[in-house]
């Protein structure tokens, strides 16, 4: 989807406290072999703040950063994406987030594409705005908290560690700090059964023990032993093809992209090799940030973009790719053009630089 006059206006992120993964290895929560293979170093943990409240905190920050240029009535749609339980069954977290942020009567909608949810919400928001007036805006939020007893962040899934945090993104028709040049969503439902397990159930998981996504995946692999290599290539190729389509639509070459904001997966996932084959080294990705935070479910892209902005790693004119992948399988990619560095990002970058500057010797 090639876009005209769709902009990013503001960002907000609220992460849990950071836990050093070496500590989790030492006390037996995280397997040492996976620690070495995945090369992740830390994970953010929310001890007592629920996923929707993390999203609310991120949204409030994004709205504050947007300033007086954005009135609550300008927000015509709220989209909330998540990969896991939001704190209550048969409930509406998107409406909760709306109630505690912008209020009003705009539609509040949940987006469920698991770890690709943030990218799906971005694409839906951009498409919605294409038919709106110049004052219109969309608030996109994500919120995740992967905790016991229902989820073991270290063992429920493989290839990553699951992290807690909320993110928010404001898009609008009025020029902001970045322009959304193109946005693409793709899927391959032939792989849906990888995470379905052995059958459907009459009720949700009881929550008395952690979900076991590895068992579902192992069962799938046993049934497809002769096709594992092609399936692995199919999954990695999905995100690669999605990125390439977004680049083609934006008329942008891989070599002209300053940074790639990728999911916070460990080094065992195959698409890291796919990126290398495209000529994208880790130094052009958000790997160094992601390995300190681990996988925020649907929120990696918003968090990664904020990190690049607030650490002074982007400049006006830069092109940035956001990319995601989720069960299903679903993939998303967007090409952004940085128009200017927002004042809130510059202020945070300056503060961080001052905090790490050497103290002058007398």
Model confidence at 359, in pLDDT bands (50, 70, 90)? Answer: low
Q: Are residues 166 and 217 in the same domain?
A: no
Average pLDDT, the chain: 95
- Whether the link from the prior residue into 137 is cis, omega within 30° of 0, is no
Spatial separation of the C-alpha atoms in residues 261 and 254, rounded to whole Å: 13
Q: How far is CA 177 from CA 87, 129, 286, 337, 343, in A?
A: 34, 17, 19, 9, 10
Q: Are residues 26 and 156 in the same domain?
A: yes
Q: Are residues 29 and 172 in the same domain?
A: yes
Q: Are residues 259 and 242 in the same domain?
A: yes
Judged against a pLDDT cut of 70, whether residue 267 lies above it is answered with yes
| DSSP code per residue over 139-187 | EEEEEE---TTT--TTTSSSSS-B--EEEEEEEESS--SEEEEEEEEEE
135-184: pLDDT as tens digits: 999 999 999 999 999 999 999 999 999 999 999 999 999 999 999 999 99
Domain that holds residue 20: 7-176
CATH of the domain at 216: 3.40.47.10
According to the model, what pLDDT value does residue 360 have? 61
40-53: pLDDT as tens digits: 999 999 999 999 99
Spatial separation of the C-alpha atoms in residues 237 and 251, rounded to whole Å: 20
Domain assignment of residue 270, yes or no:
yes
Q: Are residues 220 and 336 in the same domain?
A: yes
Whether pTM > 0.85 for this model: the answer is: yes
Q: Are residues 128 and 189 in the same domain?
A: no
Q: Are residues 169 and 189 in the same domain?
A: no
15-30: pLDDT as tens digits: 999 999 999 999 999 9
Domain assignment of residue 19, yes or no:
yes
How many distinct structural domains can be found in the chain? Answer: 2
Residues of the chain with pLDDT > 90: what percent?
89
| DSSP code per residue over 182-229 | EEEEEE-GGGGGGTTTT---SS---SSS---HHHHHHHHHHHTGGGHH
- Number of Cβ within 10 Å of residue 185's Cβ equals 22
Tracing tokens 């990190």 back to the chain, one arrives at 307
């Amino acid at each position: 989807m090639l876009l005209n006059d769709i902009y990013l206006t503001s960002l907000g992120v609220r992460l849990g406290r950071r836990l050093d993964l070496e500590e989790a290895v030492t006390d037996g929560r995280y397997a040492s072999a996976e620690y070495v293979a995945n090369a992740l170093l830390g994970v953010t943990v929310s001890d007592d703040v629920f996923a929707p409240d993390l999203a609310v905190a991120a949204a409030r920050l994004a709205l504050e950063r947007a300033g007086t240029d954005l009135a609550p009535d300008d927000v015509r749609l709220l989209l909330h994406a998540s990969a896991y339980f939001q704190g209550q069954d048969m409930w509406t977290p998107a409406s909760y987030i709306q109630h505690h942020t912008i209020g009003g009567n705009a539609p509040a909608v949940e987006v469920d594409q698991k770890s690709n949810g943030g990218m799906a919400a971005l694409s839906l928001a951009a498409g919605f705005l294409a038919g709106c007036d110049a004052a219109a805006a969309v608030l996109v939020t994500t919120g995740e908290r992967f905790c016991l007893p229902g989820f073991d962040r270290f063992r429920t899934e493989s290839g990553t560690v699951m992290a807690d945090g909320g993110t928010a993104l404001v898009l609008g028709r009025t020029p902001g700090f970045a322009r959304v040049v193109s946005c693409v969503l793709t899927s391959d439902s032939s792989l849906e059964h990888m995470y379905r397990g052995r059958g459907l159930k009459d009720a949700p998981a009881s929550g008395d023990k952690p979900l076991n996504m590895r068992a579902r995946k192992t069962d799938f692999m046993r049934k497809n032993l002769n096709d594992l290599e092609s399936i692995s290539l199919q999954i990695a190729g999905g995100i690669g093809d999605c990125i390439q389509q977004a680049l083609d639509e934006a008329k942008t070459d891989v070599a002209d992209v300053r940074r790639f904001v990728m999911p916070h997966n460990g080094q065992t996932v195959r698409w890291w090799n796919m990126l290398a084959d495209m000529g994208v080294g880790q130094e052009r990705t958000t790997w160094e940030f992601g390995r300190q935070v681990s996988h925020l479910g649907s929120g990696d892209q918003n968090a990664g973009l904020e990190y690049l902005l607030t650490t002074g790693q982007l400049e006006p004119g830069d092109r940035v790719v956001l990319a995601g992948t989720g069960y299903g399988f679903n993939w998303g990619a967007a090409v952004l053009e940085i128009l200017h560095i927002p004042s809130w990002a510059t202020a945070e970058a300056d503060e961080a630089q001052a905090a790490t500057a050497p103290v002058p010797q007398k």
